[in-house]
Amino acid sequence: MAYQSAFLALADPTRRRVFEELRRGPRPVGVIAARMPVSRPAVSQHLAVLKKAGLVRDRAEGTRRVYYIDPKGLASIRIWLDQFWDDTLLAFKRELEKKDVT
Amino acid sequence: MINIAPVRKKLTVNASQSRAFAVFTADMSRWWPASHSILKSPLKECIIEPHVGGRWYSVGEDGSTCQTGYVMVWTPPQALVLAWQINPQWQYDPGLVTEVEVRFIAEGAETTRIELDHRCLERMGERAAEARDAVDSPNGWDKILESFRLFAAT
């Protein structure tokens, strides 16, 4: 499930910080790493996990690789809402069909 | 421009159309899952003011309130459209309007089919992009993750 992988990917605080850096705009690994207390290879690994979770994409810009937030990552919000409404409507149905106890 | 398919739900309930509409709206506090609230205090009430333009909001046990949206269409007992204004940062955002349409279709005296569409979800992305630099919420993702966690635990 996409929302689960997005959840797992962002559960790590360092990875969440990498993701937050990308909220400012597209960035290459080096620029992100310069603002973080972890090494550049570590940032690359975090980006790979975020990419696999569908939260981040990358593209070549000249000789370097730039990472950016995948706008389609909104799909995870949609999946979350889909389950949210299943759950909510089930609660509604249960209440509506509850036998009167009076 | 990104398009996101609406969330669509259908269910059939053993209740008359008018009772289904009334319980959905006037009695929302009785069934809205307590875990699905963005209030810090435990959820006490869920209120829909029963007219076009009426607020849709929740009240916590400590008296704090948080708006979810407002009534866009109010045609009891057939349908209502609610504006859902909670953004992906899990905050009320008056600049965001996604629409939740709920239709109540009488299939018998005591049987009602309910169809729910939550649409215009792509606006969440547009809004998120606009708000990205203006409002940078350091707690945004923490709140979403907490919501995911609560959701997964139910």
- In this predicted model, what pLDDT tens digit does every residue of B12-31 receive, in sequence order? 999 999 999 999 999 999 99
Closest chain A residue by Cα to residue B30: A95
Report pLDDT for B25.
96
Nearest CA in chain A to B152: A4
Domains in chain A, start-ordered, CATH in brackets? Answer: 2-96 (1.10.10.10)
The CATH T-level fold of domain B7-153 is Alpha-D-Glucose-1,6-Bisphosphate; Chain A, domain 4 (3.30.530)
Helix (H, G, I), strand (E, B) or coil at A28: strand
The verdict on a CB contact (< 8 Å) between B15 and A97 is yes
Give the predicted TM-score (pTM) of the model.
0.66
String of DSSP letters for B49-71: -SSTT-EEEEEETTS-EEEEEEE
CA–CA min distance B107, chain A (Å): 16
The pLDDT tens digits for B51-103 are 999 999 999 999 999 999 999 999 999 999 999 998 776 679 899 999 999 99
Among residues A9, A8, A23, A1, the alpha carbon closest in space to that of A51 is found at: A9
Cβ-defined contact of B19 to A89 (cutoff 8 Å):
no
- pLDDT > 60? residue B139: no
Per-residue model confidence as pLDDT tens digits over B119-135: 998 788 666 555 443 33
- Say which residue the tokens 């980006």 belong to: A47
- Above 90 in pLDDT, residue A92? yes
Q: Do B9 and B116 touch, CB atoms closer than 8 A?
A: yes
Structure confidence at residue A73 (pLDDT): 66
If residue B79 lies in a helix (H) or strand (E), which one and from where to where? Answer: strand B79-84
CB contact under 8 A, A74 and B15: no
pLDDT interval class at A21 (50, 70, 90): confident
Is the Cβ pair B4, A92 closer than 8 Å?
no
Q: Nearest chain A Cα to B113, which residue?
A: A93
How high is the pLDDT of residue A72? 62
Domain edges within chain B: 7-153
How much is the mean pLDDT over chain A? 82
Alpha-carbon distances of A42 from A34, A92, B15, B120, rounded to whole Å: 12, 46, 57, 38
Position A54 confidence tier, pLDDT thresholds 50, 70, 90? confident
Residue B53, Ramachandran bin (φ over 0: left; ψ between -120 and 50: alpha; else beta): left
Residue B107 predicted with pLDDT over 90: yes
Q: What's the confidence (pLDDT) of residue A5?
A: 66
